[in-house]
């Protein structure tokens, strides 16, 4: 079943303690689409400028990503620059140049209008809603990301979009801000009244939590060092950029592939989301996903199971 993603395709400049890249491909929809394409067919809606070359587009080639919905406009592609602190748990935005993204009006090609699974990456809630209006049948799952900016500036529009959302995927600060509740279980109950039936809380180095049917399910973050055999150089987090969108791609890609939203499958989706995110952070930008093999995903998922399972 095909999966639609609507969001940013961008160029990023990133500085971490492990290095500095002045310009690399990025954007929520890019990370999401590449990650999800390991599990299912992805339809991508976004916008790029005339500085977006065939070489940039090659990230999607040879993958199950349809880019018919990737609009090309005159001007420059969205650009973001940021710097991470020493422990990479905080980042400073150095530049945000919207460029062609400022006038982005998502338009779904005909073939995308019957998408059963939809991920609305972090954009203006009204644009998110406009995507849903273009879909012909009620989708099986609509998942959505948002951020503090929209929670503060466009609360009414966000509430309208949330009414049509099945799964909200945000971080813990956003969860607390949206619900005005510190306790995450109370926060979830508040959010369920707004529309979503499931809440995925992304917690960075602390993993992720799913609240569904009033139950919590927690997955830890992958301690990267342990997955490498002694003969290999030690890997660790080199660049957290895109980890959350990669998580969302693994999560939704898996769900679309199994065509189910049972609790059992939602839990597996959490694991595949975490596994995919753990690959992305190993190298800068999309570099690790570029070379990733499906077999590596399954090996790491089994490793992940070993890291969390116990019997009583």
- Residues at the contact surface with a copy of itself, assessed by CB under 8 A: 86-87, 182-186, 203, 206-207, 209, 214-218, 220, 223-226, 234, 236-237, 264, 267-268, 270-271, 301-302, 305-312
Question: DSSP characters for 213-243?
Answer: TTEEEEEPPP-GGGGS-TTSPPP--S--TTH
- CA separation, residue 308 to residues 83, 193, 222, 304, 305 (Å): 32, 31, 10, 7, 5
Among residues 130, 97, 91, which one has the least CA distance to residue 113? 130
Rounded distance between C-alpha atoms, residue 306 and residue 226, angstroms: 12
Q: Which is nearer to a copy of itself, 131 or 198 (CB)?
A: 198
In the complex, least distance from residue 206 CB atom to a copy of itself, rounded to whole angstroms: 4
Q: Which is nearer to a copy of itself, 293 or 310 (CB)?
A: 310
Count how many Cα atoms sit within 13 Å of the Cα of residue 304 in the half-sphere of its side chain. 25
In the complex, least distance from residue 119 CB atom to a copy of itself, rounded to whole angstroms: 22
Contact at 8 Å (CB) between 175 and 201? yes
Q: Which is nearer to a copy of itself, 28 or 211 (CB)?
A: 211
Q: Which is nearer to a copy of itself, 7 or 253 (CB)?
A: 253
Q: Which is nearer to a copy of itself, 128 or 274 (CB)?
A: 274
In the complex, least distance from residue 61 CB atom to a copy of itself, rounded to whole angstroms: 30
In the complex, least distance from residue 238 CB atom to a copy of itself, rounded to whole angstroms: 12
In the complex, least distance from residue 306 CB atom to a copy of itself, rounded to whole angstroms: 7
- CA separation, residue 98 to residues 12, 53, 102, 227 (Å): 12, 18, 5, 38
Q: Which is nearer to a copy of itself, 142 or 200 (CB)?
A: 200
In the numeric block, which tokens belong to residue 250? 């693994």
In the complex, least distance from residue 211 CB atom to a copy of itself, rounded to whole angstroms: 8
Radius of gyration of the chain (CA): 18
């Amino acid at each position: 079943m095909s999966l639609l993603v609507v969001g940013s395709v961008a160029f990023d400049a990133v500085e971490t303690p492990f290095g500095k890249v002045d310009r690399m491909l990025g954007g929520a929809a890019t990370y999401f689409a590449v990650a999800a394409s390991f599990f299912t067919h992805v339809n991508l809606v976004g916008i790029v400028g005339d500085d977006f070359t065939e070489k940039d587009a090659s990230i999607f080639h040879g993958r199950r990503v349809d880019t018919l919905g990737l609009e090309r406009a005159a001007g420059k592609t969205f650009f973001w620059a940021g710097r991470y602190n020493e422990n990479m748990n905080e980042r400073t935005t150095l530049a945000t140049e919207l460029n062609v993204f400022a006038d982005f009006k998502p338009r779904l090609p005909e073939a995308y209008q019957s998408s059963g699974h939809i991920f609305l990456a972090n954009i203006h809630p009204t644009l998110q809603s406009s995507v849903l209006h273009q879909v012909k049948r009620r989708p099986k799952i609509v998942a959505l990301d948002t951020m503090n900016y929209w929670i503060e500036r466009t609360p009414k529009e966000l509430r309208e979009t949330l009414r049509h959302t099945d799964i909200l995927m945000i971080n813990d600060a956003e969860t607390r801000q949206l619900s005005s509740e510190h306790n995450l279980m109370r926060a979830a109950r508040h959010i369920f009244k707004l529309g979503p039936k499931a809440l995925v809380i992304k917690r960075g180095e602390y993993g992720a939590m799913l609240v569904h049917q009033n139950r919590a399910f927690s997955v830890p973050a992958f301690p990267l060092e342990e997955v490498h055999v002694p003969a290999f150089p030690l890997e660790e987090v080199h660049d957290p950029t895109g980890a959350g969108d990669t998580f969302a791609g693994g999560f939704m890609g898996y769900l679309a592939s199994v065509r189910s939203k049972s609790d059992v499958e939602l839990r597996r989706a959490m694991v595949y989301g975490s596994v995919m995110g753990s690959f992305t952070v190993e190298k800068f930008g999309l570099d690790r996903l570029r070379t990733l093999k499906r077999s590596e995903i399954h090996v790491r998922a089994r490793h992940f199971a070993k890291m969390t399972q116990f019997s009583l």
